[in-house]
Amino acid sequence: RGYMDEVDNLRTFYDLKLVDQVSAHVRRIKKDLASAEDEARLFNSREALFNKEVTQYDLLRDVAKKFEPYGNMWESVDSWLKQHKAWLSNPFSELDAESVESSAQTILRTLKKCEKKFENVPGCLDVTRTILKEVAAFVPHLPLIIALRQKGLRERHWEAISAKSGKRVQPDDAWTLQT
């Protein structure tokens, strides 16, 4: 019952300023649930070994199922906020465009699923939609990021891009996505 109460309590967290604390709490709950599931499997294997009736851990499965959207949402929010900040501020020349695309698309898909799950959990729905809007606004830029990170781009390409954009585009260590 203790795990169920902790999961039920997750609906009360909806302040984005507390994302570090909430995501750490969610990671701990996830770890605890995984540990409990491992123990349940161990107990079941021992029961089977001694020809005992195998115990059903339905409540544990129910708790894990109820926890999943909260865990997915807070892990995605935490991941987005940290990665997005790094993508914008780190040197463009160090960006792994395919990794950026993969992470952003995964977060987008996960948050869309969470949005459906949280229709009756207003605070969590607000957090989900806030970050979902940010991710959705970023995703259309992915093809440009991927194109600009092509290894085959030469000086003449950067000059042409600069001429057409009206801005100096020259990725060096000082150039970032915010530049």
Residue 3: CB partners within 8 Å, gap ≥ 6?
29, 32, 33, 36, 60, 63, 67
For residues 96, 19, 71, 78, the Cα torsion angle rounded to the nearest 10 degrees is: 0
pLDDT, tens digit (0-9, with 9 covering 90-100), for 36-87: 999 999 999 999 999 999 999 999 999 999 999 999 999 999 999 999 999 9
In angstroms, what is the C-alpha Rg of the chain? Answer: 22
Decide if 139 contacts 100 (C-beta within 8 A): no
If pLDDT is split at 50, 70 and 90, which confidence band does 174 have?
confident
What integer pLDDT is reported at residue 168 of this predicted model? Answer: 83
CA distance 107 to 138: 11
pLDDT, tens digit (0-9, with 9 covering 90-100), for 111-132: 999 999 999 999 999 999 999 9
If one compares 168 and 147, the residue with the highest pLDDT of the two is 147
pTM score of the predicted model: 0.90
If pLDDT is split at 50, 70 and 90, which confidence band does 1 have?
low
